[in-house]
Amino acid sequence: VLPWSVGSDLYNAPANAPGAAVLALTGHRAEAVALAGWMASTLDDEATGLVRDGVEHGVVRSELWTYNQGATIGLELLLGEAALGDEADPAWRHVRRARDLILAVEDWCAADDGLFPAAGGGDGGLFAGILARYLAEAAAEFADSDDPGSERAATAARRLVRRNADALWDARRDGLFPADPRRSAAAAGDDLDLSVQLGAWITLEAAASLERGLTS
């Protein structure tokens, strides 16, 4: 399991989901699968189906961040891509986890009309955009599936991406996007962070990719 940094006692999703993806892409699939399995068994929240932040000093940190959901969806899609349409393939469990996580995100956002939880500026400014990116990839992956579960996940992913992209676009002011699309952008505070603007554009690009049949 990968620590957040050298010497750290924090083992979290922001380190292990991207780390596992790199392992998978560089020919170390077994190690990637092992990390994904650790995340599923340790970080998945039974109550919500979402990925919690990490484990520090043996205690699970229960914070829920959009970034962790997106990075994990992306990892599971990568590990399960060869099994799409074949439930008999052992890798199908990765497809199922990606699917289930998308639906968990939909439930998480349902009370707020489909909007992602805001995470402020700094690093948090990118979080929602990363989730949008991998939701768009999932929608594309599942687009041609005749499996009801995958169809439902694809529909949910498309709806979430479009809802958040539309909200950001409507809340823009004077060339700026807001850190939280529930309000209009302002030339002050978190809205001035480059991460916030980049995160918004990633979300808009994800929505555009759905319209053009591309992936972000």
What residue segments make up the domains of the chain, in order of their start? 10-212
In tens, the pLDDT along 28-58 reads 999 999 999 999 999 999 999 999 999 999 9
| Beta strands at 52-56 and 59-64: parallel, antiparallel or unpaired | antiparallel
Q: Whole-model pTM?
A: 0.94
Mean pLDDT rounded to a whole number for the chain: 96
Q: What's residue 59's pLDDT?
A: 98
In tens, the pLDDT along 180-192 reads 999 999 999 999 9
CATH of region 10-212, choose from 3.30.70.560, 1.50.10.20, 1.10.150.120, 1.10.274.30: 1.50.10.20
> What b/e readout covers 174-208, taking b as 16+ CB neighbours within 10 angstroms?
eebbbbbbeeebeeeebbebebbbebbebbbbbbe
Q: What's residue 215's pLDDT?
A: 52
pLDDT higher than 80, residue 104: yes
Task: Report the candidate in 18, 7, 4, 6 with the shortest Cα–Cα distance to residue 126.
Answer: 18
In tens, the pLDDT along 70-89 reads 999 999 999 999 888 787 78
* Complete DSSP assignment for 131-145: HHHHHHHHHHHHTT-
State both tokens at 107. Answer: 């439930």
Q: What's residue 84's pLDDT?
A: 80
